Amino acid sequence: MQWNLSPQAVFAASPVVPVMVIKKLEDSIPMANALLEGGISVFEITLRSQIAVEAIKLISETFPQALVGAGTVISTEQYDEVIKNGAKFVISPGATPKLLQHAKSNSICLIPGTATPSEMMQALELGYDHLKFFPAEANGGAKALSAISAPLPQLTFCPTGGISAKNVAEYLALNCVATVGGSWMLPAETIAEKNWSKITELSQSAVKLIQELRQK
């Protein structure tokens, strides 16, 4: 792969990757700014709303210091669209041979979602060694990932799905985990209230917690 930015660099850039669902374009800038002020500079903006691509473009242009990525990308068409609008990396909930091959021949890295040894082996066969474990908790959590990854030491993961301040320590204890994806610093009700200072506080707490866990 001849990617501009490696998945390894994405994983290393932030202790946690916030999974952002932006429903109103007007929330894009204050939400991103709140995360940045809280010490989080890598964003996964999911394609779960009509304005997600616009939000990617707006945040990318407003905050060049951030690594803005697109999540919930499920097709080559979506991959191409988010790249045109400024995404520096792409995350998918799963993976298809078509999407894996397409990203392999392009300049923006793909971090594909996997849940089983077979899916992980297929990704590895095509040169992908930095993967998303999704949905993490629904697939057995840290205990399952530990068992699944044991015979695949070449792989590094960003587990996502059901991760919170209460269970993040279980994942960070695994050697195969470089970072985690989560939305516990972005409660829906807090966004609805536009309480951006609260999101900054939650982000700071998340970063502090993960840094402390990493030092143990």
Q: Which positions are annotated as active-site residues? A: 44, 132
Measured between alpha carbons, how far is 150 from 21 in angstroms, rounded to an integer? 33
User: Please, which residues have CB within 8 angstroms of residue 68's CB and are 6 or more apart in sequence?
Assistant: 43, 45, 56, 59, 60, 86, 87, 88
Q: Where are the alpha helices (DSSP H) in 14-159?
A: 28-37, 52-62, 76-84, 97-104, 117-125, 141-149
Beta bridge partners, 159, equal 133
Identify whether the C-beta of residue 205 lies closer than 8 Å to the C-beta of residue 184.
no
